[in-house]
Amino acid sequence: MKAAFFALGLPALTLAFPGMMGIKSKQEGLQMLEKMKREADAELVERQSLSSILSTVVSDVKGLIGSVASSVEPDNYRPEPGYTFQAPGPNDSRGPCPGLNLLANYGYLPRNGYVNFGQVIDATSRGFNMGADLSGLLAVFAILTNGDIATESFYLGTGPGNVGGLNRHDTVEADISPNREDFYLGCGDNHHLSSRLFTQNVALAAASSSKQFDLTVMGNQYYANSKFSQKYNPYLYYFPFPSIVSIGAFVFYPNFFSNGTYGAGGVANYESISSIIGAQFNSKTGHFEYVPERWPAQGWYRRSTEYGAVDALTEALAYIYAKNPVGMPIAQLGTQNLNVNTILCDAVEGINSVTPLALAGQAEEVEAGIAWALGALGAVGLNNTVLGCPTSALSANYLYGNSTQKGGPLNPPPSVQANTGNDVFNKVYFTTAPTTPQCSHTASS
């Protein structure tokens, strides 16, 4: 507005009293006015562009509101009596899985976010009718790589000291998420809702014939996200098990977050999806604030039939992965990011993805030693890396407790460490696409 004010309010003063404006000649004054006019015109174009974008998002959101489920069963109404919503406190662990976050917010899981195997099996069944084979598979791997095997427990976000938990990259959590940014491009933030990704998701739903977040729309979201990651994330991580979790998350949206049974009268509508993943639209800014996950206020029913591992994998491969089969385990195949360093980094991430949390320190010490040897021999450029992975691509602080100790993995940058804690709500994250690591992505509260 500053340029516009001067251009509109001071032309006469500038020409009449050039000396007062620090201008030596009339010609210089005219040049100054022309410059201010260009700046004002540019600002007007920018404001019109922002207004157009805002208008489009508002239109997309309005166009998705109102679809109603049919054939719902009263017994499947959620939450059940005795389970009430409570926003998580500052010491409660929350992370990249909106469904588990929601269950903890209602007390189906411990509200502090420290959960065990049996609790996860029971809560996911009662809350979403997830089959025990699917929830058991996910819980076992989460405990093995991110938790405590002795107590069969893990944290939904990060554990004490920022060690372990589902936020640990390369294990259960993987790149190419429906609405979270990649670890590397998010500068260590792989767990907050991305406003720009959900804006894209809403636009895809608004452009579809169903006006819902169905399998086709979520397949298109995967296509867009995976293409973006392949182009801009040289350290894209897509090993078999975590990548299956990644593509499975896209089918979870219609199958678990729909109001009613998807494919049998249920609707994967905006009201259900946005509320369950914690996306609250601000019509003044055009961005989505990340708020605590909850079931929609107007009434929500879980699916009436169980949905298990075979169902999820079958639909994930057919509707999601088939849109863009990213290479496993070398996601850089067919892209400009395929080189010695990225292949070596894939190897490191592969080791990390199957390394139990309790043993990760030992594995990292071995990797650090090999990295030193290769660097000393000049085999490849491995400065400030662990076998080709820059420290900003590895969530070292999740691998073991003494990540800053000499002899362990190289320390992640402070900018990455600052973004790796538990979820913080009521803020906007990632309003623009992070084509390079975006370390300052939080808007005002």
Residue 16, SS3?
Answer: helix
Q: Do 161 and 283 reside in the same domain of the chain?
A: yes
In whole angstroms, give the CA distance from residue 233 to residue 242. 17
Question: pTM, whole model, 2 decimals?
Answer: 0.83
Indicate if 172 and 115 belong to the same structural domain: yes
Distance separating alpha carbons of residues 299 and 292, to the nearest angstrom: 17
CB 319 within 8 A of CB 215: yes
- Residue 217 maps to a domain: yes
* C-beta separation of 215 from 315 below 8 A: yes
114's enclosing H/E stretch is strand 114-116
Identify whether residues 58 and 103 lie together within a single domain: no
Q: Is residue 89 part of a domain?
A: no
Please state the domain count of the chain. Answer: 2
Segments forming the whole domain that contains residue 55: 2-62
* Burial readout 268-301 (b: 16 or more C-beta within 10 A, e: otherwise): bbbbbbbbbbbbbbeeebbbbbbbbbbbbeeebb
Q: Could you say which of 62, 80, 104 is where a domain stops?
A: 62
Q: Is 84 a member of any domain?
A: no
* Shared domain check, 128 and 9: no
Q: How many CB atoms lie within 10 A of CB 317?
A: 15
Task: Assess whether 118 and 8 both reside in one domain.
Answer: no
108 with 44, same domain: the answer is no
Do residues 308 and 133 touch, judged by C-beta distance below 8 A? yes
- Residue 430 belongs to a domain: yes
One domain for residues 283 and 343 = yes
Please report which helix (H) or strand (E) contains residue 154, including its range: strand 153-155
Judgement on whether residues 121 and 251 belong to the same structural domain of the protein: yes
Residues forming beta bridges with residue 153, ordered by sequence position: 116, 148
Which of 40, 62, 84 marks a domain boundary? 62
The verdict on residue 71 lying in a domain is no
Which residues, other chains included, contact 148 with Cβ-Cβ below 8 Å and sequence gap of 6+? 154, 164, 357, 358
Domain-terminating residue out of 12, 47, 62: 62
Upstream peptide bond of 329 is cis (omega within 30 degrees of 0) = yes
Answer whether residue 229 is part of any domain. yes
* Largest Cα–Cα separation, the chain: 83
Q: What is the pLDDT along the chain (445 residues), one digit of tens a residue?
A: 444 443 444 444 444 445 544 555 667 766 776 776 666 666 555 555 656 778 788 888 888 888 888 889 999 999 999 999 999 999 999 999 999 999 999 999 999 999 999 999 999 999 999 999 999 999 998 998 888 888 999 999 998 877 789 998 888 999 999 999 999 999 999 999 999 999 999 999 999 999 999 999 999 999 999 999 999 999 998 988 889 999 999 999 999 999 999 999 999 999 999 999 999 999 999 999 999 999 999 899 999 999 999 999 999 999 999 999 999 989 999 999 999 888 888 887 887 777 777 666 555 555 555 454 444 444 444 455 666 678 788 775 444 444 444 333 456 778 888 888 999 999 999 999 999 999 875 554 5
**Contact indicator for 83, 107 with CB cutoff of 8 Å:** yes
